[in-house]
Chains A and B, each alone.
Chain A
Amino acid sequence: MINLTVNEQPVTVPEGTTILQAVRAAGVELPTLCYHEGLAPYGACRLCMVTITAPHHGLVASCAYPAEEGLMVETHSPEAVSARRLALEFLLSRCPQSEVIRELAAQEGVTASRFGTPPPERAEELCVLCGLCVRVCREAIGAAAIGFIGRGMERRVGTPFEVQSEACIGCGACAEICPTNAIKIEDRGNERILHTWHTTVELHSCPECGRYFAPEPTGFLKDMFPEIENLWALCPECRRQRTARQWIEQEHTRAT
């Protein structure tokens, strides 16, 4: 176990913990955008900046810095607060349309940005380049269907050549994990349209009711994991009804 201090309060955390996890274990709130407990540390949004005052001094991103024995952490030092506010002010300037960013900024006392508004072609921008979609697709799903394109202010997320992806399985994890709802996915008839990725995948229909309920490219999962065969066979609604009918029949049989 590692003993460290967060805002003068002693905290004990297991080996392999980050400062951010220690801070949260101490019950202190820190905003994050690019952090997810299921993915490797990334350190890009720079919202979770904290000051280390001992054994050495520095401003670090807590999500990516390992908790170390004897570390003294201050989450609300003037430099940490100002770094966080500036990051939010810039994000507000990048995505003024994002309700999530506006609320996050307001929580830190930032209600307006001195850094202007996006150019007309990016006026509707919601993506904050936190990279969660890219990382979940690669690290958790294993599809690596999307990645970063361009650098600096030109950086954006997309599929290779920004055309229909052959690697996308249509799982929607990217949209699920996106903190600013920047990824547009729509189910229409027998198709799932991932608008942001210029990609359409076929949907699998329920043999009982005919309703479309899962992306066809995820079918390989039932071959890998035979125990989920029945999840693939019926839609959740029909499965619920069938289970319910089975219970009723069992009850009926027992009663008679």
Chain B
Amino acid sequence: MKVRSRSDLETLRAEGLSTLYPSRLKISVGMATCGLATGAAAVYDALRDEAARRDLDLMLVATGCLGYCQQEPLVEVRRPGRDPVLYARVTADRARELIAALAEGELPTEGALAIIPEEKPPAGSKPAGGLPRLNDLPFYSRQHKIVLRHCGLIDPASVAEYVAQGGYEALAHALLDLTPEQVIDEVLRAGLRGRGGAGFPTGRKWQICQAVPIQPKYVICNGDEGDPGAYMDRTVLESDPHSVIEGLIIAGYAIGAHQGYIYVRDEYPLAVERVTQAVARAEELGLLGENILGSGFDFNITIVRGAGAFVCGEETALISSIEGGLGEPRPKPPFPAVSGLWGKPTVINNVKTLATVPVIITRGADWYASIGTEQNAGTVVFSLVGKVANTGLVEVPLGLTLRDLIEGIGGGGLNGKAVKAVQTGGPSGGCLPARLFDLPISYETLTQAGSIMGSGGMVVMDEDTCMVDVARYFIGFTMAESCGKCAPCREGTQYMHQILTRITAGEGSVEDLELLEEVALWVKKASLCGLGQTAPNPVLSTLRYFRDEYEAHVKEKRCPAGVCRALIRLSILSELCNGCGLCRRECPAGAISGEKKQPHTINPELCTRCRICYDVCPVGAVEIVR
């Protein structure tokens, strides 16, 4: 089949609806990377085999990620005429039990998390007994899903299901009803800003590129997401690849480009696979290629796999990498919109930016601009991770406070511990203290506070996190990922790492703090590209907000959080120890001795301060002496 017109899209839509809402039992398993990492593949196999064994008529589908990664593997059971029920943390055994129950016409309540009412529930559907709606759960209630609108709800391999949810409607509208200028104007008025982190107005970028009287032009989707703890681009590419493809074609139409690239890091094999499949499928259907939807507009997409350099997320380095050169940034200006790939005008947009574009075209600029705040319209996706009760991908309107995000959606600290700080924006984001949690989230407020919006990483830290150690960890990351081209980033990150290592080893001095700040400011101001310019943020922000922790390390040789090995000692409180011997068996250094049911002791000469004993002791008898 070829999709050559709007009516062909309708045909595809009908096909999609029939698999989205079939008239037989349907089970969907979340099989994005987060699901697979927790065993979703085994769950899928168990469901399939058990259903076959019991001769149960079942439509089994692999979907993407619903965002509640902590509850993976997530399994959605949809019986015709009933609200689908979502099961959390499903194992292969539980999957077989589920099939057994379904074969008996029953729906188990154990492990059921919520119901997912469908947008267009079939007539006569009844809510399942006593379960909350998914969108009423604290994790979801304040979310507003635009980028993640289809993730986990459709089969990423099915273009028909994407179309059934309204996909490629925006493309038809743009190509058949709007001029490129009108498309740009819509995106401009919507107030969409670059979701790669820098927040440059997307419409403005398109406008600049469109105005350059040079052909050919190119448009690139930047999917080189490399931040530790951030995985929103991966999720979108894995769970809803057509939204990105649609956005990319619209961007190409707007600026006058006929060739697009999707640059995906090769460490995301599933994203590469799904997006490759999706491009091939769009080509088969004629949604890519010549004369798309009969509009006369031609557009093709090439997928480029990144070879594992963090710096290639920087646009000029990414361009150099596509050209076959070293992944190294070059000075700007000229900006890529004027002189980019092969020296031609090039727009580079992040995965999330492009995934947003079709929604803006379909629902209009005014609707999008009404979400969020005036200067920060729309929604932003965060990967909420670290020492927080609920982890996962969350999409919230801009302007929500950090507190709403961390305490509301995240449910506060893990195991009830007090949250001390949050790092936003990936490895080069700053660490903001809990007292600033009432800050509304926007590009400007985060920058003023010493952090960045960045990729959308949101790492929560509690009282057991040493902020000096955190700064050392992140500078270690940027040091290893610095390409080494410019002196400040190459030499400066390495020196900052040296100083921080010295401080955490208890060998730092007060002068080190001054030197650290001087070097950090230099790297921030004098570096060639965004990597170096933001790399010192973790250092500068912790120096600004947690100076007392640094001072404790250098003046008192004490690590207040009890993390830095050189500055702590472990001992067993004999009055609490019941002599169970667990710590003795777990200690990798053989440093613990004691008779059964007698208080144990730690030999400080052998102890490596790994804290395993502290973590395993069932009665809390191991004490960290700070």
Contacts and interface: CB of A to CB of B under 8 A. Distances in A.
Contact of B490 (A115, A116, A152): A152
Contact of A151 (B330, B481, B488, B528): B481
A59 B490 contact: no
A147 interface: yes
Contacts of B485: 44, 129, 131, 155
B486 A151 contact: no
B484 A154 contact: yes
Given A131-B485, A152-B479, A152-B490, A59 B525 contact: yes
Interface of B: 309, 311, 326, 328, 330-331, 333-334, 479-488, 490-495, 498, 515, 518-519, 522, 525-528
A65 B522 contact: no
B515 A49 contact: no
Contacts of B498: 116
Contacts of A128: 487
Given A87-B488, A152-B484, A153-B479, A115 B526 contact: no
Contact of A86 (B484, B486, B490, B518): B518
B525 A148 contact: no
B495 A86 contact: no
Contacts of A150: 484
A155 B528 contact: no
A56 interface: no
B526 to A, nearest CB: 4
B490 A153 contact: yes
Contacts of B518: 86
A43 interface: yes
Nearest to B491: A90
A45 B326 contact: no
A41 interface: yes
Contacts of A241: none
Contact of A147 (B326, B333, B480, B487): B326
Contact of B483 (A41, A45, A151): A151
A46 interface: yes
17 contacts: A42-B331, A43-B528, A44-B486, A61-B331, A61-B528, A66-B334, A82-B522, A87-B526, A90-B491, A128-B487, A151-B481, A151-B484, A152-B481, A152-B494, A153-B491, A153-B494, A155-B484
A216 to B, nearest CB: 30
A94 B494 CA distance: 12
A151 B487 contact: no
Contacts of B326: 147-148
Given A86-B519, A151-B484, A115 B331 contact: no
A64 B526 CA distance: 13
A73 interface: no
Contact of A66 (B333, B488, B527): B333
A62 to B, nearest CB: 11
A103 interface: no
B487 A87 contact: yes
A152 to B, nearest CB: 4
Interface in A73-113: 79, 82-83, 86-87, 90-91, 93-94
For chain B, what secondary structure do more than half of its interface residues adopt (helix, strand, loop), or is it mixed? helix
B486 A46 contact: yes
B492 A90 contact: yes
A44 B487 contact: yes
A114 interface: yes
B483 A152 contact: yes
Given A45-B487, A46-B528, A153-B490, A86 B522 contact: yes
B328, B480, B522: most-surrounded residue (chain A CB, <10 A): B522
A152 B487 contact: no
Given A42-B331, A131-B485, A152-B479, 11 more contacts: A43-B486, A49-B526, A66-B334, A91-B491, A94-B491, A116-B498, A129-B484, A151-B484, A152-B494, A153-B494, A155-B483
Nearest to A128: B487
Contacts of B526: 46, 49, 59, 83, 86-87
Given A43-B528, A87-B526, A94-B491, A152 B331 contact: no
Interface in A124-153: 128-129, 131, 147-148, 150-153
Contacts of B484: 129, 148, 150-155
Contacts of A86: 488, 518-519, 522, 526
The 7 closest A-B pairs by CB, nearest first: A155-B484, A64-B331, A43-B331, A90-B491, A152-B482, A83-B526, A86-B522
A87 B515 CA distance: 14
B507 to A, nearest CB: 14
B40 to A, nearest CB: 35
Contacts of A82: 522
Given A61-B331, A82-B522, A46 B515 contact: no
B284 to A, nearest CB: 40
B488 A129 contact: no
Contacts of B488: 46, 83, 86-87, 90
A148 B492 CA distance: 19
A94, A115, A116: most-surrounded residue (chain B CB, <10 A): A115
A78 to B, nearest CB: 12
A79 B519 CA distance: 13
Contacts of A61: 331, 528
B483 A43 contact: no
